[in-house]
Amino acid sequence: MLGVVFSRPNRFKFFWNQSLLEIEHIGINSLPIVALMSTFMGAVIALQTASSMESPLLPDYTVGFITQSSTILEFSPTIISLILAGKVGSNVASEIGTMRITEQIDALEIMGVNSLNFLVLPKVVAALVFFPVLVVFSMSLSMLGGWLALLVSDLTTTEIYILGIRSFFNPFHITYALTKTLVFGFLIVSIASFYGYYVKGGSLDVGRASTQAVVSSSIAILIANFILTQIMLLS
Partner 1 sequence: MIEVRQLSKSFNGQQILFDIDHQFEKGKVNLIIGQSGQGKSVLAKCMVGLYEPDGGQIYFDDRNFTNMDRHERSLIRQEIGMLFQGAALFDSMTVEQNVMFPLQMFTQMTKAEIQKRTDYCLERVNLEGSNLLMPSQCSGGMQKRVGIARAIAMRPRYLFCDEPNSGLDPKTSIVIDNLIQDITREFEITTVVITHDMNSVMEIGDQIVFIHEGKKCWSGDRHSIIDSGNEEIENFVYASSFMKEIRSKLQKK
Point out which residues bind partner 1 (CB under 8 A).
Answer: 10-11, 14, 102-104, 106-107, 109-114
- The nearest distance, CB 122 to partner 1, in angstroms, is 13
Closer of 100 and 180 to partner 1 (Cβ): 100
CB-nearer residue toward partner 1: 114 or 229: 114
Q: How far is CA 191 from CA 85, 90, 176, in A?
A: 10, 10, 22
Rounded-to-integer distance, Cα 120 and Cα 175, Å: 26
27 and 124 in contact (C-beta within 8 Å)?
Answer: no
Q: Letter for the amino acid at 116?
A: L
Q: Which is nearer to partner 1, 15 or 40 (CB)?
A: 15
Q: How many Å apart are CA 61 and CA 66, to the nearest integer?
A: 9
* Least distance between partner 1 and beta carbon 196 (Å): 15
CB atoms within 10 A of CB 2: 12
- State in Å, rounded, how far the first CA of the chain is from the last one: 32
Shortest Å distance, C-beta 213 to partner 1: 20
CB of 3 to partner 1, least distance (A): 11
User: Which residue's CB is nearer to partner 1, number 17 or number 170?
Assistant: 17
